[in-house]
Amino acid sequence: MKSFSFKRAADPTNAVQMLGADKDSKFIAGGTNILDLMKEGIEQPTGLIDISRLALSVVKANPAGGVSIGALARNTDTANHPLIRQNYPMLTQAILAGASPQIRNMATNGGNLMQRTRCPYFYDLATPCNKRQPGTGCSAKDGLNRYSAIFGWSDSCVAVHPSDMCVALAALDAIVKVRGANGKERSIKFADFHVLPAASPQKDNSLAHGELITSIDLPTSACAKNSYYLKVRERSSYAFALVSVAAALDLAASGTIKTARIALGGVAAKPWRAEEAEKYLVGKKPGEAAFREAAKIAVSQAKPLSDNGYKVKMAERSIFRALTNAMNGGAA
Where are the extended beta strands (E) located within the chain?
5-8, 25-28, 47-50, 59-61, 67-70, 175-179, 185-189, 212-218, 227-232, 243-251, 257-265, 272-273
CATH numbers and ranges of domains, the chain: 5-53 (3.30.43.10), 224-327 (3.30.390.50)
Helices 310-327 and 288-299 cross at an angle (nearest 10°) of 140
Q: What is the pTM assigned to this prediction?
A: 0.98
What pLDDT tens digit does each residue of the chain (332 aa) get? Answer: 889 999 999 999 999 999 999 999 999 999 999 999 999 999 999 999 999 999 999 999 999 999 999 999 999 999 999 999 999 999 999 999 999 999 999 999 999 999 999 999 999 999 999 999 999 999 999 999 999 999 999 999 999 999 999 999 999 999 999 999 888 999 999 999 999 999 899 999 999 999 999 999 999 999 999 999 999 999 988 999 999 999 999 999 999 999 999 999 999 999 999 999 999 999 999 999 999 999 999 999 999 999 999 999 999 999 999 999 999 999 87
